[in-house]
Amino acid sequence: MAPPPTSRPRPWRPILALLAVIAAMYGGMFLLGDNALATPRLGLDLRGGTSVTLTASTTDGGAVTSSAMDQALEIIRNRVNGRGVAEAEVVKEGDNNIVVSIPGTNEDTSQIGTTALLRFRPVCESGGTAPVPTPTPSGSPSGSPSGSPSPSGSPSGSPSPSDNPTGSAPTATDSPTNSGRALSRFMLQDQSPSPTDTASPSGSPSPSGSPSGSPTTPPGDAVAQPVTCADQVPAAVRTQFDDLDCTTDTSRQGRGEVEDKNAFLVACDQEQPVKYILGGTAIEGTSVTDAQAGLPQSGIGTWQVNLSFDDTGTREFGEITTLASQSPPPQNQVAIVLDGVVVSAPVPSGPITGGQAEITGSFTQQQAQDLANVLRYGALPLAFEQSTVSNISPTLGNDQLTGGLLAGAIGLGLVVLFSVLYYRGLGLVSIASLAVAAVLTYAAVVLLGRWQGFTLSLAGIAGLIVAIGITADSFVVFFERLRDEVREGRSLRAAVEQGWTRARRTILVADTVSLLAAVFLYYFAVGGVRGFAFTLGLTTVIDVIVVFLFTKPLVTLLARTKFFGNGHPWSGLDPVRLGARPQGPAPATIVARRTAGAKEA
């Protein structure tokens, strides 16, 4: 007989820990959100959704190639999947159409087909109903000496294109008129301080001082400073700038075309009636290595998008912010251009060499995440237009759901019946373990739907039903090892520990194989198959938790009771019924029962 364990098992500890986890999960479901959300988010086939048809076109009017469509399909699929495990469907239809189907009828699909061409350009000229932003010293590094006059002579308190009033810090900030506007400001933590006496390119002591003999242009008109960028603007571009009207909403929307990165660009501000002449691209959006939605480091403020640049982008970003910080208005601005529209044109107060920037504004969490997904996965090689938008009915999915739940209930009932008939008292342990696994799975699905966008589809429900067999298989492995130890003549307490030592390796190997299959299936599949793989992997992890923290400790507790410890015939661990081979002197009760059985035979 195996020696007794060196330390007495404490089965209550893991059970109490598991109950605490369950309480925390359900507390998060009901206390940290709307009680109406304490149900899983259903997928496209169960609750219906929105179907958007995107029609592709090229900027030069040529034919849409198959390779460009495949690249666009992959980018759009990554953008949609970046929202979470949302069971969205992205398929190519014909030669120039992509159909995107998203669960829910109120989902925002505006960012799906945007070109998302992000570029950083220097500002050459600006004009419109708002005057040019003019930075003034406010405790930040400045190029003007102490006591210099107000730059450009603009009146104090006049608004700027970036809604940055004169007298504020030279970074762009939000304003009450910018509700929903994606303003941008650069991170200043890593910037190098500017020398106090740095002169402007024109030689004036103030960074905004007008050059000798150059009159100051009144606010509201196009401003042309005698610097290289403005001097090189062609006459045709100036004519286009004069004719551009940025007072309409249409002119302040994305063009759906790819502009020449090296040519001058005439563009409107995204939210305000302000227009710009922009120089050649200083930084391509391809230099953005990561874009993440988050809150400010201080924890105070609205959601923002944090950008990180590669080595090339970091160097170019340092160069353009250095030049801008030493230039007079409006050349002291750096325009962030998305799809041909100026998202904002902040004023850096000095060189920024940390390789990071922020896009801030009155973002909601979903808006910030959508913009981060668009920027993170790159620009589309084609221009897309939403040709049709329609709603999808969930009628067929509801009928299939009824059939699937009925099949799952029948399967669960058969597993319970088998457990009770074959394992008798031990069958109650398997039923309790299945119930705990179901409670954990339900809470996990609800919380993932609320915090990660996971939606439960028919394929996902199929994965949950398959998990019943996986969980039951773990019980079978443990119970059979336990019964083998009883057959060897060990007491039940010793058999539990010895059988668990042998069974847990088999359980872990089987669950690892199942988890690996789910992971590979998730990453290499698309559509509903990914939902099946996700729920399969989730329930496999839950199976390991339940077996280790509930099933085994519960069996250890039951082994200390008379009903199981003395091998009652209905316990499922009767030594006589299992054909136990006693080691050493057999207990009198077992000998008497064996003798009675022999006489009857």
The 10s digit of each residue's pLDDT in 416-442 is 898 888 888 888 898 999 999 999 999
**419 and 555 part of one domain:** yes
* Residue finishing a domain among 379, 410, 428: 379
pLDDT of residue 110: 64
| Type and span of the H or E element at 119 | strand 118-128
pTM of the model: 0.54
Distance CA 517, CA 593 (A): 49
- Read off the tokens for 72: 């666009």
Is residue 575 in some structural domain? yes
Distance CA 85, CA 456 (A): 9
Which residue(s) pair with 230 in the sheet?
none
pLDDT of residue 382: 74
Q: Summarize pLDDT for 4-13 with one digit per residue, the tens.
A: 555 566 888 9
- The mean predicted confidence, pLDDT, of the chain is 73
Q: Are 276 and 244 in contact (CB under 8 A)?
A: no
Is residue 152 in some structural domain? no
* Residue finishing a domain among 314, 349, 379: 379
**433 and 364 part of one domain:** no
User: E strands, 65-206, where?
Assistant: 89-93, 97-103, 118-128, 184-185
- More confident position, 293 or 223: 293
Is residue 4 in some structural domain? no
**434 and 570 part of one domain:** yes
Mean pLDDT over residues 203-212, rounded? Answer: 34
Highest mean pLDDT among 14-23, 71-80, 196-205: 14-23
Q: Are 97 and 85 in contact (CB under 8 A)?
A: no
Is residue 86 in some structural domain? yes
How many CA atoms are closer than 13 Å to the CA of 361, on its beta-carbon side?
22
**262 and 411 part of one domain:** no
Provide the domain limits for residue 245: 118-135+168-193+220-379
**404 and 535 part of one domain:** yes
Is residue 161 in some structural domain? no
- More confident position, 449 or 211: 449
Q: Poorest-confidence range of 287-301, 376-390, 482-496?
A: 376-390
- More confident position, 59 or 601: 59
Q: Summarize pLDDT for 504-513 with one digit per residue, the tens.
A: 999 999 999 9
Is residue 55 in some structural domain? yes
What size, in residues, is the chain?
601
- More confident position, 108 or 499: 499
**436 and 561 part of one domain:** yes
**325 and 464 part of one domain:** no
pLDDT of residue 158: 32
Which residue(s) pair with 388 in the sheet?
53
**54 and 180 part of one domain:** no
Q: Poorest-confidence range of 105-109, 155-159, 248-252, 327-331?
A: 155-159
Is residue 96 in some structural domain? yes
Mean pLDDT over residues 11-25, rounded? Answer: 91
In the structure, what pLDDT confidence band is assigned to residue 357 with cuts at 50, 70 and 90? Answer: confident
Mean pLDDT over residues 207-233, rounded? Answer: 46
Q: Summarize pLDDT for 532-586 with one digit per residue, the tens.
A: 899 999 999 999 999 999 999 999 998 888 888 887 888 888 787 877 666 554 4
Tally of CB atoms within 10 A around 310? 14
DSSP-derived secondary structure letter, 551: I
Distance CA 329, CA 131 (A): 10
CA distances from 408 to 28, 462, 465, 475, 513 (A): 28, 9, 6, 19, 23
pLDDT of residue 85: 53
In the structure, what pLDDT confidence band is assigned to residue 75 with cuts at 50, 70 and 90? Answer: confident
Backbone phi, psi, residue 122, to 5°: -75, 150
**453 and 522 part of one domain:** yes
pLDDT at 324 over 70: yes
**434 and 477 part of one domain:** yes
In the structure, what pLDDT confidence band is assigned to residue 107 with cuts at 50, 70 and 90? Answer: low
Distance CA 270, CA 223 (A): 19
pLDDT above 90 coverage of the chain, percent: 14
Highest mean pLDDT among 196-200, 303-307, 378-382: 303-307
pLDDT at 173 over 60: no
Is residue 143 in some structural domain? no
CATH of the domain at 267: 3.30.1360.200
Mean pLDDT over residues 189-214, rounded? Answer: 34
In the structure, what pLDDT confidence band is assigned to residue 396 with cuts at 50, 70 and 90? Answer: low
CA distances from 34 to 31, 49, 551 (A): 8, 22, 33
**286 and 238 part of one domain:** yes
pLDDT at 188 over 60: no
In the structure, what pLDDT confidence band is assigned to residue 122 with cuts at 50, 70 and 90? Answer: very high
pLDDT of residue 581: 67
Give the number of domains in the chain: 3
CATH of the domain at 408: 1.20.1640.10
Tally of CB atoms within 10 A around 118? 23
**362 and 287 part of one domain:** yes
In the structure, what pLDDT confidence band is assigned to residue 361 with cuts at 50, 70 and 90? Answer: low
User: E strands, 146-203, where?
Assistant: 184-185
